[in-house]
Structure 1
Amino acid sequence: MLLKFNLNSIFYPLKALASRAFYLHVLFKMRGWGFYYLFLICALIAFPACVKVMDVLSSLKQMELVTLVSKIPPSYLDANGVLSPKEGSRDFVEIRNSKGDPSIIYNPLNKVLEGDELKAPIELTGTSVVFKSFEQSNAVPYSSIFPTNANFEPYEAAASLDSVFNSSWFTVWGMITLWFFAILAFNALIIALIGRILLILVSKIKINFASMLRVSSFANTVVALILLLQYFVHIPLPYTVIAFLPLIYVYLLGKDIRTTVNKYGTSAFSGQNNSNNARYDDGSNRSPKDDNNKGSGGYFAP
């Protein structure tokens, strides 16, 4: 279905973040917008993220990282993510750039560093890559970025790095867009499933899965924003917490629907939102109750 795009559409992300009423609009009047919107928001946030990534790649290229990586001794990463030098390779190497500055310390035996060794911005320990800057360090486990039970061949790694550094801006933007979309689409599916159960149990509202997925897609705007911010600032929140933030919007939507239905009845709510499918059901197999029934014992299904 071809969706119309208008000037009002550019405010959808802001409304998805700040407007409770907007989610009623999404539920009743924006069929077909779910993953379409999610992809657009991913493409949008990928622009500033791409600028940051390209800046980092440029910095790493200026560090002569391709040449430096080619000097790392051949190694092996076992099933437990532990790096060890292959037979005949040195177990400690201080790799310097063309200016003579220490750049990479190959230290799989976790030797205590001293002197100029401490100035190297990258250290390869027994289990992780350690990035150091401004007296801070971040350790990234090998198992999270490299396949285990595999050999590390420095020349192959250097060639791969060189191809990454020479990637076009459009290629990097496209890859980041797809990465964001994969994360958010999966999260939208999970939130839609959990949110549907939550509304049934808490608000006694039954929303079909397709509609719930549409609402979840818009609610994931907050996750998209946090993912983008993490490219620029450190946000001390585990991803499990960030991933469930959209449930707040789902809960508020259910609360607004239930409050309105209980106060004004199904007919008024249906007319206000132009919905011919809204109904009140007591959960039995009998015909739906009269629209004026505002009790809380049954289920409202928009």
Structure 2
Amino acid sequence: MSLIHHLKRVSAVSIIALATSAALADVTVATKYGEVTVKDNATQVVTLAESALDVMSAIDVEVAGSVATRGSDTVSRYLEDKQAGIQIVGTARETNIEAVIGLRPDVILASSSLPKAQYDVLSKIAPTIVPDTTSTTPGSWKQDARLYGKAIGQSDAIEQALKAVDDRAASIKEKVDANIPADQRTAFIARWMPQGAIVMSKDLFVGSLLNQVGFKADDGGLLKPGRPHSSPLSLENLSTIDGDWLFLATLNDDGKEALDAAKKSPAFARLDVVKSNHTATVDGQVWSSTSGPLAAHVILDDIEALLEANTQ
């Protein structure tokens, strides 16, 4: 065999090997709108779900563009130092398609609520990952995290991030079991709006975390099936959320002002949960607007702080 023939044969084998390796490295995932394949060299990531941004931040993946959090024109405060210089490409309700195109993404990580019509447009820009879950299915946030992680070839990192949440939750549950009687663990989450308080579904991300640490998330049966929250409650109807514990979430300054005004009312002061000092004001951008490993740790911080204040 001549040297030239040998080199040609080696080159052909190498090309085949490289092609096979690349094919094996590409990832195909099952999504709400069918199977989607993401190339192994996907580095330019755009997230159109706050939860997806959290997941990427939890595993130190730089995101080129994302939607703004509810009640703001930028990302959630707890993620600002994780994604410096990120470009905003819309809101949870509306995507700026031109801005997404301008970023030339390799992959787009969207929310499970993305409509098919928008998916059809976005999928022409880049592989678009839409989880086949609903936010009111307990534990769906972990399924979403695993899907996003798998899509960019980071499944191991995602599992480590989720395990860290589970380990910490288990530690906090020990404190709950040791200090709070089992029949005194009902907890409500209310997002305070200018129109009044809305009760968040017990089946959302935060509810699943509360249950994981030993509380019993409740929504008073005030929600329509499949809805993430109730209609606004009047001050006179606050007694419907007078459980053992109450977390008061605000998204922005308007919500904070409304909550401050409510706290001065007799109706609020009469609540047993207020009298027992079992309330905590928390960040609504985390507690009522997103999910993910980093958000979980913020929520666990708040739970732990409330526990410490009431068990000293």
Scaled to the shorter chain, the TM-score interval is: under 0.3
Say which one has the larger Rg: 1
TM-score, structure 1 as length reference:
0.23
TM-score, structure 2 as length reference:
0.22
**More helix per residue: 1 or 2?**
1
